[in-house]
Amino acid sequence: MISEACVTSYMPPSGDGGRAQTHWDDPNPSTWPPSPPRIVYGIDMTDTLRVMIEMLMAAEAGQPMDDAEFKRRVDEAGRHSVEPPKP
């Protein structure tokens, strides 16, 4: 049995492409537990992937994010992933 707050992650023995699955059934992303960090070649892609998931969910709900807003949010997430936090 897997708790709904659980995130399972796994990678095939070949090492090609890992997958993660959230078992959270609430459609409101603001109530989801934090997702595990996604590191790609040493860059934290967690925030960028969150923006992509939100874009896909908005499109699925019939309220697509416009290109300018998507680009602004992806750029902001990208900066956040490589710049140290400001004191």
Q: In the chain, what percentage of residues exceed pLDDT 70?
A: 71
Coil, helix or strand for 68?
helix
Under 8 Å between Cβ of 58 and 65: yes
In a domain, 10, yes or no: no
Query: If you ran DSSP here, which 8-state letter would residue 29 be given?
Result: G
Under 8 Å between Cβ of 18 and 11: yes
In a domain, 28, yes or no: no
In a domain, 22, yes or no: no
Separation between Cα atoms, residue 24 and residue 5, nearest integer Å: 6
Of 36, 19, 25, 31, the residue nearest 2 (C-alpha): 25
> Picking from 22-31, 36-45, 47-56, which range would have the lowest pLDDT averaged per residue?
22-31
Q: How many domains does the chain have?
A: 1
Separation between Cα atoms, residue 60 and residue 80, nearest integer Å: 27
Which structural domain, as residue segments, surrounds residue 47? 37-82
> Picking from 8-17, 22-31, 73-82, which range would have the lowest pLDDT averaged per residue?
22-31
> Picking from 4-18, 20-34, 52-66, 69-83, which range would have the lowest pLDDT averaged per residue?
20-34
In a domain, 66, yes or no: yes
In a domain, 47, yes or no: yes
Question: What confidence tier does 68 reach under pLDDT thresholds 50, 70, 90?
Answer: very high
